[in-house]
Amino acid sequence: MPGLRAPPGHGSDDWELGKANAIEVPETVGEDGCFFDHVPLFAGQHVYKVNEALADTIENAGGLLARVTKGATASASAPAAAPDRTTARIIDGKAFAAGLRARLADHVTALKAQGVTPGLAVVLVGEDPASQVYVRSKGRQTREVGMNSYEHRLPAETTEADLLALIARLNTDPAVNGILVQLPLPGHMNEAAIINAIDPAKDVDGFHILNAGRLATGQKAMVPCTPLGCLMLLRDRLGSLSGRHAVVIGRSNIVGKPMAQLLLRDSATVTIAHSRTRDLPVLCRQADILIAAVGRPHFIKGDWIKPGATIIDVGINRTDDGLVGDVDFDAAIAVAGAITPVPGGVGPMTIACLLANTVTAACRQNGIDAPVF
């Protein structure tokens, strides 16, 4: 193409594309770094001045996440200041859970037409007030989506042998597709032995050692409810998680470890951390996705968060000011791209995913294709 030279005002990809397709790519910037007179809006202005003006415009419109002045270097230990405004989108777990339950009700109706009514058995040992509230809520929501709910309330002095005998009966009951033993159990019981006595196919909590192993090795498994709910919220917010750096703070068998496995399954790059991890703030600032499940109120500070990151706060901590999460919400909301509130974020998803797991279990046990949620 005669007369065309690689123009300083374009990237090499633009230049090569034009050259390959015989498209003229006119020069826009002269040797002095100023735009030529034929360039609209920027004629005669130096590129640095234009870039500064564009940055000012974007910042005033509230769209600039960070700004580094000429000669400055970015540091992982000293993140760029976030704009002085509320940026984060609230991830409404309560609304998402309501939509999921509505879809579940439709699936249950379809299963009933095939002669299958999913049934969930919940076992409560003792009179722990919080556990009683959870059990009542689980029973109510189970019935609301059209499934059968079976509640077994046992006194705190129930022996481990008696509880194991009840689980054995539920394992063989064809009307029961899902079994959940409400935790915590009284101190005289072996929690691991109780969990692993549940038929893995009916283990809708996803805590059985076989389900944990299957999840870790990429096989079909019953997945713990809270991590599954977090994954649903992330997919809804971000779409593909492939290649994103996810930092999971927490290493419990209930949330941290299965959450990491689910993120790996979705091709995220995963780092597991905990309260004793060295330089934890530095690590958090590298996260595109930050899962907080450490169980300490406001443990994650606002300046630990990468601008624009998606924050899933699993923590539910009771304080004098009410329920709060593991993340300092007021500080984080000015930096993050999206964040779950506490309450109203992850919490409602846990029971909704328990119901979803029960539907999945009923389908698998009856040779029916399970829905994808």
Query: In a structure prediction context, what are the per-residue pLDDT tens digits for the chain, which is 373 residues long?
Result: 444 444 445 555 555 666 666 676 666 766 556 666 666 556 666 655 556 555 544 544 444 555 554 444 444 444 444 444 456 899 999 999 999 999 999 999 999 999 999 999 999 999 988 899 989 999 999 999 999 999 999 999 999 999 999 999 999 999 999 999 999 999 999 999 999 999 999 999 999 999 999 999 999 999 999 999 999 999 999 999 999 999 999 999 999 999 999 999 999 999 999 989 999 999 999 999 999 999 999 999 999 999 999 999 999 998 988 899 999 999 999 999 999 999 999 999 999 999 999 999 999 999 999 999 8
Last residue of a domain, one of 171, 195, 220: 220
The verdict on 289 and 195 lying in the same domain is no
CA 77 to chain centre: 25
CA distances from 20 to 1, 14, 23 (A): 10, 10, 8
Provide the token pair at 130: 């919080």
State the catalytic residue, choosing from 199, 203, 205, 326.
Answer: 205
Q: How many separate domains does the chain show?
A: 3
CATH of the domain at 283: 3.40.50.720
Evaluate whether 17 touches 38 at the Cβ level (below 8 Å).
no
Active site residue 266: no
Q: Is residue 136 part of a domain?
A: yes
Alpha helices, DSSP H, located in 219-333:
225-238, 256-265, 280-284, 329-332
The enclosing H or E element of 59 equals helix 47-60
Last residue of a domain, one of 220, 237, 266: 220
Q: Is residue 277 part of a domain?
A: yes
Q: How far apart are CA 318 and CA 357, in angstroms?
A: 28
Domain that holds residue 253: 89-93+224-349
The verdict on 325 and 236 lying in the same domain is yes
Active site residue 205: yes
Helical axes 129-144 vs 347-365, angle rounded to 10°? 50
Active site residue 112: no
The verdict on 193 and 228 lying in the same domain is no
Last residue of a domain, one of 186, 220, 254: 220
CATH of the domain at 211: 3.40.50.10860
